[in-house]
Amino acid sequence: MAEWLRGLGLEQYAAAFRDNDIDREVLHRLTGEDLRELGIASVGHRRRFLDAIRALPNGAPQPFTEPAPAAVVASNDAERRQLTVMFCDLVGSTPLSTRFDPEDLRELIGVYHRAVAGTVTRFAGFVAKYMGDGVLVYFGYPEAHEDDAERAVRAGLAVIDAVNRLATPEALNVRLGIASGLVGESGLLTCFEALRSEATPLVGRDEELDLLLKCWQQAKAGEGRVVLVSGEPGIGKSRLSSALSQRIQADPHIRLRYFCLPHHQNSSLYPVIAPLERAAGLRVTIPSKRSSANYVHYSRVARATRTR
């Protein structure tokens, strides 16, 4: 448990966990109120705890230094899934070891590790292993999302920014590698447009499309209509609404589209801000840089996310 807390950069709460008999079995049942009673007054620390607990397989913490093989394969029935893997390490770590004594270097690496772990956790990344100054992170494990590749790229950009802002005796530079096929952010407005083609025929949705078209005709006749399309991720909600747009494109109308994204859940105005930014041709600026090395790596990743 102490090792798990240390990996999160929250080792100051180890005594509180020990005094209150918090073990692996109890951990995954903790609530925000429980954490408050443990003396964790910081909202940010409680959120980091809850996010990290949710990211653990079956709620059981595994040491970040060497996850147990059983955490990868829980049974004899193997499961194939799409994973996005990110590896992050320090640039020039060998020269650092000659300029710092072992204890100071260990503290410096620990600060860097905590910055990376805290950042990728916000994007549902799972820290699989620490290898020296390297950090191996999975996106899509243990919990899969349809936009794991995009989460990995955004997490990589956020890691560069987080390391840039670290108050360390010497500026730290990082390099990142992400493997999951060709990804990132393009001029398209939605993840549906980025991942799928509207040229793909719509199959098995005639009844739903007819219902939408009926509501459209009623709305044209002056009867107000609101339609909620809901369902599990990936069943074709966006494809259905796209098909409706194609069918009514000859009718005079104004279409307004607003989209929420999981990594912008803390920005209530994001669905409105994003279309305005695109309409105005605004671009996200590169954050402040403490070295040319970080600028080069950031630029490469930024270019990759804009390539489609």
List pLDDT tens digits, range 69-78: 434 444 445 5
CATH 1.10.150.50 boundaries in the chain:
1-64
Q: Which residue has the tokens 């230094």?
A: 65
**Cα separation, 140 vs 42, whole angstroms:** 29
pLDDT-based confidence at residue 135 (cuts at 50, 70, 90) = very high
Q: Which residue has the tokens 């990589």?
A: 156
pLDDT-based confidence at residue 215 (cuts at 50, 70, 90) = very high
Long-range pairs of 127-134 with CB within 8 A, sequence gap ≥ 24: 127/7, 127/64, 128/67, 129/64, 129/65, 129/66, 129/67, 130/7, 130/64, 130/65, 132/89, 132/93, 133/89, 133/90, 133/93, 133/109, 134/87, 134/88, 134/89
Percentage of the chain lying above the pLDDT 90 cut = 15
Terminal CA-CA length for the chain: 43
Higher pLDDT, 292 or 149: 149
Q: Which residue has the tokens 């009623």?
A: 218
Q: According to the model, what pLDDT value does residue 284 have?
A: 60
**Cα separation, 42 vs 49, whole angstroms:** 11
Q: How far is C-alpha 60 from the chain's CA centre?
A: 21
- What the block records as the tokens of 91 is 């640039």
Q: Averaging pLDDT over each range in 120-124, 234-238, 270-274, 280-284, which range is the top one?
A: 120-124
Query: Amino acid identity, residue 218?
Result: Q
Q: How far is C-alpha 4 from the chain's CA centre?
A: 21
For the domain with range 1-64, which CATH number is right: 1.10.287.3510, 1.10.150.50, 3.40.50.10800, 3.40.50.360? 1.10.150.50
Average pLDDT over residues 175-180: 88
Average pLDDT over residues 230-238: 76
CATH 3.30.70.1230 boundaries in the chain:
81-187+285-308
Predicted TM-score of the model (pTM): 0.42
Higher pLDDT, 61 or 129: 129
Q: Which of 87, 115, 116, 91 is nearest to 178 (CA)?
A: 87
pLDDT in tens, 42-67: 777 777 777 777 766 554 444 444 34
For the domain with range 81-187+285-308, which CATH number is right: 3.40.50.620, 3.30.70.1230, 3.40.50.1220, 3.30.450.20? 3.30.70.1230
pLDDT above 50 (res 302): no
User: Torsion angle, CA of 213/216/218/223, rounded to 10 degrees?
Assistant: 150
pLDDT above 50 (res 141): yes
Q: According to the model, what pLDDT value does residue 94 have?
A: 80
**Cα separation, 127 vs 108, whole angstroms:** 19
| 136 and 85 Cβ atoms separated by less than 8 Å | yes
Q: According to the model, what pLDDT value does residue 296 have?
A: 41
pLDDT above 60 (res 86): yes
Q: According to the model, what pLDDT value does residue 259 have?
A: 77
